[in-house]
Structure 1
Amino acid sequence: MSLTDRLYRQFIYTKFFTKGWGSSETLFRLLALRDALLQNPQQIAASKGSVNISESRSHDNYEVHTGNFQSPLAEFHPGFLPKESELAQFQMVLPKSWPSSNRKPICVQLAGTGDHRYWRRRKLLAKPLATENGIGSILLENPFYGVRKPLGQTRSALQHVSDLFVMGLGLALETAALFNWCLEQGYGPLGITGISMGGHMASISSTFWLKPIAIVPCLSWSTASVAFSQGVFKDACTWQVLEKDMEQASKIRDSGKIRSLSDPVLPSAAQGKGKPSLEALTFMLELMDTFTHLSSFPKPHPDSSIISVVAKDDEYMPRTRVTPLTEVWQNCEVRLVAGGHIQSYVVHHDSFQKAISDAFDRLPANATLHATN
């Protein structure tokens, strides 16, 4: 148990999902799009965007390029992303010296909860990877974050539960577009990583890429449902609003299209003011598992190199009574770091960096060639 995780959450007053689950129409459309993409993952793998590099800066031993492109989710599936999120924005951190002329590794980094803009990922991971490991990074701004944050949203507090699923689909399409652009520019092999929510988004995005890549989810696991049903993050949800919005929930719950793939210990009844009822908590579990459980997605390419870094005492992403990641992805190595979620996020970036470097090193020798075919 991590006392730091529990204490930290008590000092964060931002509440999530202040406008409820999202409309039943949006949830049904998301399910339909997700199912269509699962039946034909090539749709995501073939995603492309017209990338514009708007600014470039050179430093002593690395370069920084800032760019943007129209999100494929906005271009081909309009109506999901808010207007402010339609333009995907990223920053690219590249080493001045590559491992070799035909090996220019690039790792896409997705943002965790509260990680707006680029400075944190750039300073803590991208610059060390570029200068010490010869690995470039693309720091993609999540939909609903930073300059892509919709009007009316407070900081990182998504207003609807459905916004999280829109973010995930947007990132999967945008990551594939960036991968394809990298290959066109002569970069490779490719990889993806993220911490906390970014780690899980990276895992989901990786499943739609049909070629070998390095996959390094950090401080995440096989499903996001545990974060909202039994982790300390559960208390950040606006359950009073979600309870009142159960009419919207009932339409999709009664459709038979959602189901739980986890078995956490849930309370038998409401736990007091501001706490969720068993009905609302069960629906949250079912909805989150339906949209985020990795067993619902394709497996990564068998030659992909997967290393997961998890915290021993993680109270944000507990791993009890849920499917082990190694059961979903049998070729995944799991590395354990000491401490809870918050402590690990602060002090274990060297472990994340090492895992990323190792994952790239383990890719087959022909991964760069394979990626271009």
Structure 2
Amino acid sequence: MESWSPLGAHVVDVLFAGLARRARLFTNGWGDEQLLEKVEVGTSFLPEPARVSPVWGEARPHRGTWLRDGTFTSPLPLLAPPVQTAHVRWLSAENTRGRSACVVLAASREEGYVLRERLYTPLVREGIDLFLLENPYYGVRRPLGQKGGALRTVSDHVLMNLGMVEEARALLTWLRDAGYARLGIAGYSMGGYMAALTAVLFPGPLAVAALAAGASPVPVFTRGLLSWSISFAQLDGARRDAEQARQRLGRIFDLANLTKFPPPRQPGAAILLACRKDGFVPAAETRTLHAHWKKSELRWVNAGHVSAILTERTALCAAVRDSLARVAPHSQQSA
């Protein structure tokens, strides 16, 4: 593995990580050991995307777009009742369906829809309908007793990731059946990684915009700035062996390493965007994913992981727009 240190990160990344570490991750330890043992044997994705029927509220004007909020029951039965209802926001340019649809997943600790609306609303005005999913365990889906987006156990985080994939696959299947010509999935940071994982597990071509994401989440959680939010000695319990806890966390998260899966059906419709001064995601991980997804495009922005959200909206929107332009229309996929 290429040597990497977050010390060369953008100053905004370092400041953000310093503030975020006040809300520690995994303060209640590993959590459900039976679940962790199960995923350590093999990942637990459903063999096919589930069928869901979202229930949509009335459309209403919202900042120059039309907005509908919807819900459906998560296809992941392991989620506790407060977490089990999936929430999704649908943004469109008119009070009708657009030409293309893109599901946009949330980043780590990103609760609600405000950030994604701010970043990607220009695409809506171009005729791209956006579907913003609320992550399990975030926002209105927090379990009782959880404060903010700091998940209390590792098993909660595993369930969140499984839920993100299954809910995105199910929603994409509903969108395909609803008649959208082009379908895509996108996300930033954890959202970008989970978007990529969803794409490789979806049974048809998808546009993919994996933004500030890499092939494996392991270095993000064990060596990058996000690791500042984890007390590894506390995670290991009575033994207080921080390195042992770090290695176990890495083994669990590496089970979903994207290089262990085939590329998506149409890798030429995948755009990867990396930040040159990223203190959370090592550049080597994005290069590894690009090499594994032959024909994908790798783009760079001269920013940090956090600062890119503030300064690179044009580049982020362009990655989503261009990936959708490259994916085969649904009519051609069915031919």
TM over 0.5: yes
SS in 1 for 2:209: strand
Per the alignment, in what secondary structure is the counterpart of residue 136 of structure 2?
A: coil
**Aligned equivalent of 1:49:** 52
Per the alignment, do residues 18 and 185 of structure 1 end up closer, same or farther by CA in structure 2, a change over 3 Å counting?
same
Asked if the contact 1:312–1:340 (Cα under 8 Å) also holds between the matched residues in 2, the reply is yes
Which position in structure 2 is the counterpart of 1:89? 87
Aligned match for 1:242, one of 235, 238, 250 = 235
The equivalent of 2:103 in structure 1 is 108
Q: Is the 8 A contact 2:271 2:297 kept in 1?
A: yes
Same amino acid, percent of matched pairs? 28
Q: Secondary structure, in 3 states, of the residue corresponding to 2:37?
A: helix
RMSD of aligned Cα (Å): 2.3
Q: For 2:318, which of 354, 358, 361 is the aligned residue?
A: 354
Distance 1:25 1:320, change over 3 A: same
Q: Tell me: CA distance 1:309–1:343, structure 2 relative to 1, closer, same or farther (3 Å).
A: same
Q: If the length of structure 1 is used for normalisation, what is the TM-score? A: 0.81
> Where in structure 1 are there 5+ consecutive unaligned residues?
75-79, 247-273
> How far apart are residue 157 of structure 1 and its match?
0.6
Moved more, 4-13 or 334-343: 4-13
Matches within 5 A, 1:318-333: 318-320=282-284, 324-333=288-297
The CA deviation at 1:59 is 5.1
User: Which residue matches 2:29?
Assistant: 20
When Rg is computed on C-alpha atoms for both structures, the one with the higher figure is 1
What is the CA-CA distance between 1:11 and the residue it aligns to? Answer: 2.1
TM-score by length of 2: 0.90
**Matched residues in 2 for 1:14 and 1:329: separation?**
35
CA distance in 2, matches of 1:161, 1:69: 25
Which of residues 153, 158, 169 is equivalent to 1:165? 158
Partners of 2:284 and 2:210 in 1: CA distance: 18
Decide whether aligned partners of structure 1 residues 162 and 59 sit closer, same or farther in structure 2, where only a CA change above 3 A counts.
closer
Match of 2:71 among 64, 68, 72: 68
> In the alignment, which residue of structure 2 is the partner of 1:5?
13
Q: Which runs of 5+ in 2 are unaligned?
A: 1-7
In 2, the alpha carbon distance for the partners of 1:202 and 1:34 equals: 16
8 Å Cα contact 2:267-2:295 kept in structure 1: no
2:124 aligned to which of 112, 127, 130: 130
User: Deviations along 1:10-55, whole A, 9 cap, x unmatched?
Assistant: 12211000111223211123346725x4xxx6x333x111210023
Shift of 1:188: 2.9
Map of 2:113 onto structure 1:
118
Q: How does 1:278-293 map to 2 (within 5 A)?
A: 278-290=243-255, 292-293=256-257
Give the superposition deviation at 1:372. Answer: 5.4
Deviation at 1:328, TM superposition (A): 2.0
